[in-house]
A and B are shown apart, each in its own frame.
Chain A
Amino acid sequence: MLEVQDLVAGYGAMPVLRGVSLNVGAGEVVAVLGANGVGKTTLNRALSGLIRAERGSIRFEGEAIERLDPAGIVARGLIHVPEGRKIFPNMTVRENLELGAYRRARANRSRNLEQAFTTFPRLREREAQLAGTLSGGEQQMLAIGRGLMAEPKLLILDEPSLGLSPLLVEELFALIANIAAQGLAVMLVEQNVVQSLELAARAYVLANGEVALSGEANVLARDPELEKTYLGM
């Protein structure tokens, strides 16, 4: 579904990613782990067209997408729920969700809105509330809900558990498991190593701008190298 080959990307002279290769299969949950500042968010930004890949290729369902703009990538069903949520604080919960279907799945907007409210009952209660006044957890639910409104084929979640209480993290991971169980491919970027590896089938660990370690999640979870590579920075 997603095939990344030798991806080089960054912000100017020194690339952050120096040849990253990874892939995500249809319906698969893949975790991407790595220390702070290693380039996980940069990878997501390159995949969704927010920054240009300097070299390498990104293929989505067999089609090269590294030259497309974000709108074109969204249109193809690769949906990125960004780090820091990036919801629209000045708009209501409902408007935020509706905008999730701006480029894609617009015809099914009202059906999917109902679906999102069923998935996140707390959002339904706050339908008319301004998104900026939601709690952190609710904002994260909204960001994911907005992503789901586009009927993604692959959903990239960048640190969805950031800033949530342990209880809420638990709830969130259960929810992601639920979404994945419906056959959606998920690329999960996380600091929560243990929980991510429980959820994912496979994982990649980034270090020094490259994939340092990869494999089955349950194998990686027991790998002593993981801690070393992962915390080694």
Chain B
Amino acid sequence: MLKFDIFLSALANGLLTGAVYALIALGLTLIYGVLHIINFAHGATLTLAMFAVFVAHQAFGLDPYIAVFILTPLFFVLGYALQRFVITPASHGDDGNILLVTLGISIIIENALLAVFRSDTRSIDVPYGFSVMEIGPLFLSTPKVIAFVATLGVAGLLWLLLARSDTGKAIRAVAKEKTGASLCGIDVAHVYAVTFGIGTACLAIAACLLMPTFLVNPRVGNAFVLVAFTIVVLGGMGSIGGALAGGLIIGVVESLSGLYFGESLGQIGIFLIFLVVLLFRPTGLFGAKA
């Protein structure tokens, strides 16, 4: 019985962690699905967002759950501007250049953060940081449960936006058929920038959900984004549902293999699953058939 409780708790914690992975992967997969580029600045942007949460808390006394309502629109605008006024002009329409430009942006962000904050690891103190909720036989970290619920909410909203709104339809149209979209009068450059903005805004939300229980240093984003890349491929490049399911699966796999093989081997399970899925479904779990 005790064994089962431990298993259940590892499972639940995996789902909770996986949700934040999913949120990070969501932004990445959306940008890939529409712009067909891999945003190498995703990790650094997440780090930047986490520092923004840190500063909002230390300098302005803003709780992360309040800061999220300021940082999300702010990061949307940041992403929009980056794509429209930096990435597009600097890459001259060449996809190879886009990779280099996003890589360059990530280096600039990381070094700027290093210069300002040094390489120290920092965290914020919130009164509910260590509070737990009792759900059935489980004791779960309250901020993680909040992160889980919020992620599902964000994914649901994103799905609604894409499925129902005119902007969402324009995004889906541009994703598959740029020329056709232009000929309907859709401003493709604007749609690209909006999509990049949404992907970036997802990072601000993820940062606000992470900071109550996590720490930040100028390189922290990379670890998350490596996992997020795995999720994006696993779920099927460009698939929203795939990113969500992939994130949860990865979270659970990491947690369970940590339980059975030891903490340090947790990540090995991720890559095992990754390899097995790709062996049998090269386009990912939810990817369109090639």
Asked if A and B are interacting partners, one says yes
- Residue A144 at the chain B interface, CB threshold 8 Å: no
Q: Are B177 and A89 in contact (CB under 8 A)?
A: yes
- Determine, out of B101-109, B135-143, B145-153, B165-173, the stretch whose residues face the partner at the interface: B165-173
Provide the residues of chain B in CB contact with A212, threshold 8 Å. Answer: none
Q: Are B180 and A87 in contact (CB under 8 A)?
A: yes
Q: Are B185 and A70 in contact (CB under 8 A)?
A: yes
- Residue A207 at the chain B interface, CB threshold 8 Å: no
Interface centre among B172, B176, B180 (most CB of A within 10 A): B180
Taking the closest CB of chain B, its distance from the CB of A9, in whole angstroms, is 16
Q: Are A71 and B187 in contact (CB under 8 A)?
A: yes
Provide the residues of chain B in CB contact with A85, threshold 8 Å. Answer: 180
In the bound complex, CA of A82 to CA of B184 (Å): 11
In the complex, residue of chain B having the shortest beta-carbon distance to the beta carbon of A99: B184
- Determine, out of A23-31, A100-108, A187-195, the stretch whose residues face the partner at the interface: A100-108
Taking the closest CB of chain A, its distance from the CB of B237, in whole angstroms, is 14
Taking the closest CB of chain B, its distance from the CB of A101, in whole angstroms, is 8
Provide the residues of chain B in CB contact with A70, threshold 8 Å. Answer: 182-183, 185
Provide the residues of chain A in CB contact with B166, threshold 8 Å. Answer: 102
Provide the residues of chain B in CB contact with A221, threshold 8 Å. Answer: none
B87-105 CB contacts (< 8 Å) to partner A:
none
A67-101 CB contacts (< 8 Å) to partner B:
69-71, 74-75, 79-82, 85-91, 95, 98-100
B178-196 CB contacts (< 8 Å) to partner A:
179-187
| Among A69, A87, A98, A103, contact of B169 (Cβ-Cβ < 8 Å) | A98
Taking the closest CB of chain A, its distance from the CB of B91, in whole angstroms, is 19
Q: Are A102 and B172 in contact (CB under 8 A)?
A: no
Q: Are A74 and B169 in contact (CB under 8 A)?
A: no
- Residue A50 at the chain B interface, CB threshold 8 Å: yes
Contacts A86-B177, A88-B176, A90-B176 given; indicate if A79 touches B183 (C-beta within 8 A): yes
How many interface residues does chain B have, given as a range? 10 to 19
Provide the residues of chain A in CB contact with B169, threshold 8 Å. Answer: 91, 95, 98-99, 102
Taking the closest CB of chain A, its distance from the CB of B103, in whole angstroms, is 29
Contacts A88-B176, A90-B176 given; indicate if A99 touches B183 (C-beta within 8 A): no
In the bound complex, CA of A88 to CA of B170 (Å): 10
Contacts A69-B187, A86-B177 given; indicate if A102 touches B182 (C-beta within 8 A): no
In the bound complex, CA of A96 to CA of B5 (Å): 51
Contacts A69-B187, A103-B185, A150-B185 given; indicate if A82 touches B180 (C-beta within 8 A): yes
In the bound complex, CA of A69 to CA of B177 (Å): 17
Q: Are A90 and B185 in contact (CB under 8 A)?
A: no
In the bound complex, CA of A23 to CA of B180 (Å): 25
Q: Are B183 and A86 in contact (CB under 8 A)?
A: yes
Contacts A91-B172, A95-B169 given; indicate if A100 touches B177 (C-beta within 8 A): no
In the complex, residue of chain A having the shortest beta-carbon distance to the beta carbon of B178: A86
Taking the closest CB of chain A, its distance from the CB of B191, in whole angstroms, is 11
Q: Are B175 and A75 in contact (CB under 8 A)?
A: no
Q: Are A48 and B183 in contact (CB under 8 A)?
A: yes
Provide the residues of chain A in CB contact with B177, threshold 8 Å. Answer: 86-89
Q: Are B173 and A88 in contact (CB under 8 A)?
A: yes
Provide the residues of chain A in CB contact with B179, threshold 8 Å. Answer: 50, 82, 86
In the bound complex, CA of A50 to CA of B183 (Å): 8
Taking the closest CB of chain B, its distance from the CB of A83, in whole angstroms, is 10
In the complex, residue of chain A having the shortest beta-carbon distance to the beta carbon of B180: A86
Q: Are B172 and A150 in contact (CB under 8 A)?
A: no
Taking the closest CB of chain B, its distance from the CB of A120, in whole angstroms, is 17
Taking the closest CB of chain B, its distance from the CB of A98, in whole angstroms, is 7
Q: Are B180 and A74 in contact (CB under 8 A)?
A: no
In the bound complex, CA of A46 to CA of B181 (Å): 16
In the complex, residue of chain B having the shortest beta-carbon distance to the beta carbon of A90: B176
Provide the residues of chain B in CB contact with A100, threshold 8 Å. Answer: 184
Q: Are B182 and A71 in contact (CB under 8 A)?
A: yes
In the bound complex, CA of A152 to CA of B185 (Å): 12
Q: Are B184 and A150 in contact (CB under 8 A)?
A: yes
In the complex, residue of chain A having the shortest beta-carbon distance to the beta carbon of B186: A102
Q: Are B184 and A103 in contact (CB under 8 A)?
A: yes
In the complex, residue of chain B having the shortest beta-carbon distance to the beta carbon of A71: B185
- Residue A153 at the chain B interface, CB threshold 8 Å: no
| Among A75, A89, A91, contact of B185 (Cβ-Cβ < 8 Å) | A75
Name 12 interchain pairs, CB-CB below 8 A, sorted by A: A49-B182, A69-B187, A71-B187, A86-B180, A89-B177, A98-B169, A99-B186, A102-B166, A102-B184, A103-B185, A146-B184, A150-B185
With A50-B179, A70-B185 known, 19 other A-B pairs at CB within 8 A are A50-B182, A70-B182, A75-B185, A86-B177, A86-B180, A87-B177, A90-B172, A90-B176, A91-B169, A91-B172, A98-B169, A99-B173, A99-B186, A102-B166, A102-B169, A102-B185, A103-B185, A104-B185, A150-B184
